[in-house]
Amino acid sequence: MEEASKQPGKKPVEPVRMNLDSKFRFSCHKGLECFGECCGKITISLTPYDVLRIKNKLGITSAEFLSLYTRIVDLKSTKLPFFLLNMTEDGKCPFVGEDGCNIYADRPLICRYYPIGLGATESSEAESGDFYYQIKDSFCKGFEEDKEWTVRQWRESQEIDRYDFINKDWFEIVLNRKLLAGGVEPDEKSQRLYMLGSFDTDSFRNFVFESRFLDLYDVDEVTIQMIREDEVELLKFAHKWLKGVLFGEYIYPRRET
């Protein structure tokens, strides 16, 4: 995934490797001379739960949000499309205003992590293969503040665990080793289904409940009820289903037709 460099034109200081108990000083608030500076000329890749939260905040459908606010790029070698948030003509995030982020409670995961970045390694030395690093942009005055955090406390304060939990199966899809190595090549149909199930939840709901989907897949009644009533459950269901579409790992088996 592309990294959030909240960074108008200057190079960040070399990142320092961290774990969950590593400490750093940081505070971001109105009154700092850099306030809002970082919310422009940046690359913000969106996760499925980001799209769900923001389209609900804006009161529009997922398809409307994707069409109005995003553009598509392919994720490196995987052929899976990703959505990036479009900046305005003057290079700013469409959601930054005089008082800061207009969608703060629903801001994307990548904005929640900042100024911490998440890395992954195959080395056994790092906890769960994940490690963290500080993105110390030279223009950011937040590091001169007294408030001290551990990475763990920062994650908790930013609701990151909830985002990771809901996006879990989707992360497993986009980080699938065979996919990244080119051993799985999604065809056009799989790519379309991936976009539908990953990001366009309102259209996916229609697809499940207004097509022959439930005749084709053996989904139990409890799950059907849950995904009918709860959009987050629908999103998680979509990601589990996509593992079947992309990798043949069907949790809900296809019925004989």
Residues at the contact surface with ligand SF4, assessed by CB under 6 A? 6, 28, 32, 34-39, 93, 95-96, 101, 103, 107-108, 111, 140-142
CB of 222 to ligand SF4, least distance (A): 36
CB of 85 to ligand SF4, least distance (A): 7
CA distance 207 to 194: 13
**Residue among 39 and 66 whose Cβ is closer to ligand SF4:** 39
In terms of C-beta density within 10 A (0-12 exposed, 13-18 middle, 19 or more buried), how is residue 128 classed? exposed
**Residue among 93 and 151 whose Cβ is closer to ligand SF4:** 93
**Residue among 6 and 55 whose Cβ is closer to ligand SF4:** 6
- Which residue, 132, 144, 143, 135, is CA-closest to 21? 132
CB of 40 to ligand SF4, least distance (A): 8
**Residue among 104 and 209 whose Cβ is closer to ligand SF4:** 104
**Residue among 98 and 229 whose Cβ is closer to ligand SF4:** 98
CB of 68 to ligand SF4, least distance (A): 15
The long-range contacts involving 177-183, CB below 8 angstroms and separated by at least 24 positions, are 178/247, 179/78, 179/80, 179/246, 179/247, 180/76, 180/77, 180/78, 182/77
CB of 24 to ligand SF4, least distance (A): 12
Write the single-letter amino acid at 70. Answer: T
